[in-house]
Amino acid sequence: MQQIPTTLLKQFIQNLPLSEFCFAYGSAVQPQFNYDYTKSKPMIDLILAVDNVEEWHLQNIQINPTHYSGLSYYLGSRFIQRMNVEIFPIHFSPFVQFQDLQLKYGVVSSKELIKDLESWKWLSIAGRMQKPILTIQEFDNLRFQRAYISNLQSAVAISILMDFKSSMSLQELLYSIMSLSYYGDIRFTLGGENQNKVFNILKGNYKNITDLYLSNLGDLNNLIQIQKDGHILIDQSIQSLEYLCSLIPGQLLSIVLGEKDNMGTLKMMSQDKIKELIKESVKRKNQFSSRRMLFYNLAMISPFLSVKYGIQKLSKRFK
């Protein structure tokens, strides 16, 4: 894998209106097994968090009008902001050329980013940040720092609850965590992603993924014991189950319990019932978000770019 052009990426965001936070993610910054980086350079994916979405796009359309197409160009910043509120919170601009880099960047409200990390409202940004990322611009926000760690710990708890047993391998746990944001995603159903993607992510970046989670377990260290051989022993007590359930993000908990959103109700359920409900809720959350994202992109990006991007995604199926 080639060295990540961090300096160039910092230069790129300086050509955009002011943002509060920016990170790169995906195969360009996260080595993936079975990807031949010598034959094709992957598009670099960025997420920018901004204070005021409408104002940011108003300025950016004036500065970088070629980054917009379709309805987003013709109807402008107010329409983009409205679609972000009603349909999907991230506006993506794909196939942006900057020097010798090809980029796709998404813009999201800083409040929505933090909310997704805390509650898994969409599990879109939270899912991306459950893998190692490359920070391009630091976010000087204490609530964000807490939400970032909370998202990682929730991912561990959910993965354990989805198959609550006394022991598993570290690799098994990490594979489950990497799978969370893809479980039920319509892009896999439509063949728009490599079906071995999760395996390729984990094998290609195993050390960084391991370090990310082992250094952010917090109180979960009291529930799981990681042996020298990579085997994990999991406390099966009622107290352990209750603590894991307390880490279920709010939006996911609402799907699990419906209108009852009461942790006491969850504690009364059997382990098998909790496992079943957790799996179904993650699947439904990803189905909802991925459908909304697909509709948003089709509506807001020109037909030409939509087809071009769709073809590029379909080609990943065979890599």
pLDDT band at 90 (very low <50, low <70, confident <90, very high): very high
- 226 token code pair: 């990681």
Q: Phi then psi for 42, rounded to 5 degrees?
A: -70, 150
Q: What is the pLDDT of residues 151-189, one digit of tens each?
A: 999 999 999 999 889 999 999 999 999 999 999 888 776
How high is the pLDDT of residue 271?
81
How far is Cα 192 from Cα 316, in angstroms, rounded to an integer?
Answer: 7
How far is Cα 265 from Cα 179, in angstroms, rounded to an integer?
Answer: 27
CA neighbor of 256 nearest in space, from 271, 278, 275: 278
Higher pLDDT, 134 or 39: 134
305, 73 Cβ separation under 8 angstroms: no
Angle at 83 between CA 80 and CA 87, to 5 degrees: 150
How high is the pLDDT of residue 24?
96
How high is the pLDDT of residue 269?
80
How high is the pLDDT of residue 155?
98
Mean pLDDT of the chain: 89
CB < 8 Å & 24+ apart, contacts of 261-270? 267/241, 267/242
Q: How far is CA 131 from CA 73, 293, 311, in A?
A: 32, 20, 25
How high is the pLDDT of residue 306?
54
Angle at 313 between CA 286 and CA 205, to 5 degrees: 75
How high is the pLDDT of residue 316?
52
- 123 token code pair: 């599990």
Higher pLDDT, 255 or 56: 56
245, 70 Cβ separation under 8 angstroms: no
Average pLDDT over residues 112-120: 97
How high is the pLDDT of residue 13?
97
Average pLDDT over residues 221-231: 91
Task: Flag whether pLDDT at 120 surpasses 80.
Answer: yes
How far is Cα 266 from Cα 161, in angstroms, rounded to an integer?
Answer: 12
CA neighbor of 212 nearest in space, from 143, 156, 276: 156
Sequential DSSP letters for 18-61: --SEEEEESTTTS--TT--TTT-PPPEEEEEEES-HHHHHHHHH
How far is Cα 305 from Cα 311, in angstroms, rounded to an integer?
Answer: 10
Q: What is the pLDDT of residues 243-270, one digit of tens each?
A: 998 999 998 888 877 755 566 677 778 8
How high is the pLDDT of residue 169?
95
pLDDT band at 286 (very low <50, low <70, confident <90, very high): very high
* Lowest mean pLDDT, pick from 19-23, 73-77, 279-283, 310-314: 310-314
CA neighbor of 73 nearest in space, from 93, 101, 87: 93
List the alpha helices (DSSP H) in the chain: 6-14, 53-63, 70-86, 110-119, 125-128, 142-161, 170-179, 186-189, 197-204, 206-214, 238-246, 250-257, 263-267, 271-300, 303-315
pLDDT above 90 as % of the chain:
66
Q: Three-class SS of residue 87?
A: coil
- 224 token code pair: 């799981």
